[in-house]
Structure 1
Amino acid sequence: MLKDYLKQGVRIEGLFDLISKGQDAFDGSWSYEHHLTSRNLIKFFADDSGQNPIRVLPYKRGENASTPMAGGEVISGEFTGCIMGIYKGRGIATVNHVDTEKNGDGEMPQKEAWLKLKKTSGFELFNECSTLGLIPAFIRGIKDKKLMKYGTGIVILCVASPTKYYSITKAAVFRDSEHNYKVLKIL
């Protein structure tokens, strides 16, 4: 499972292009490369050319994006305060990336829609993770020298896994100028 390969220092390539375009969820894949002299590497692909299948759930600004788990893991990002939820929808495990950005009126309509969905008959929440406050808490824990190095490029990536309790793995990552990520810490 991808969640088992997300470790501090791992480099991630190809993911930003997959999650940043605001498209519908799709099936992709990933491969892992172990390196002795440099960082280990996870590469993401928009097709099945990687060794491991994964469902990719891009962030949709102003919308709540969702996808069936289909028995495998789902990766989504970038999170800076949004919510990842795993729930039973239409009889199957579904993953939701809830947009919590405020609109021009200072309201969070997508979060309100999520709260309303959670109150519907037959809704079953398996797991939920708010990333609100994770970045500031992480930044408070790092030294000024590192903070100057990473600046505002720190975001959260989340992986929903079809484990017994539908786990959500949260990784604080730094996105560099080439849009590759470096895992700073698993939260």
Structure 2
Amino acid sequence: MGQEIAFWALAAVAVASGVAVFVVDSMARATFALLASLLAVGLAFLLADLAYLGVLIILMMVMEMLVMAVFMVMYMMNPAGLMPMKMVHNQRIALLVSGGVFVLLAAGVLLTPWPERRGLPPPDPTRQLGLSIMGPKMLVMMIVGVAILATMISAVVLATHRGRYDWYGDALDAPRPADPVGGPDAEAAPRSHGPAGGHGGEG
């Protein structure tokens, strides 16, 4: 009973926050209203024993909304997107399109002959969902994910102007790192050259 009450409460929060996205008058408030709506959806997934999807939604949406907030602070002309502005454009067309889509989706939900459940639910719904979606391609996607991560790390390493050898010398034994900025008052750290550890001049 308590789980059902929590589910419907989260559903109400998700819908109310989604409506608030189009009601508030600033980009920042709309961003955090959307974040609240998606967090409620993620928690509802957790209540439905879909732990993987729930955690995935929460993590992805939190990071995405925070990145949006950072970009608003950095690039928007008004302070952090908090100044009032018109958030909805082409209201009549938007209402017609959204109303038509809602009617079609509701009709599909009500008129579709959904199959009845046979047997008991699987002991691990997350694993079963992954197998149903990915099937035999699970290993390929895992390898691709690791390859993408390695590519991102390599791109960051190659994009950096200075590395640890520039900071601590060739043998990484400098007592203090070299100043990455430099300047008239910056004292450069001594650097060693070669595996023997002989110290050269300042650099």
Normalising by the smaller structure, the TM-score range is under 0.3
Higher strand share: 1
Normalised TM-score (structure 1): 0.21
Normalised TM-score (structure 2): 0.20
Higher helix share: 2
**RCO comparison, higher one (Cα < 8 Å, 6+):** 1
Larger radius of gyration: 2
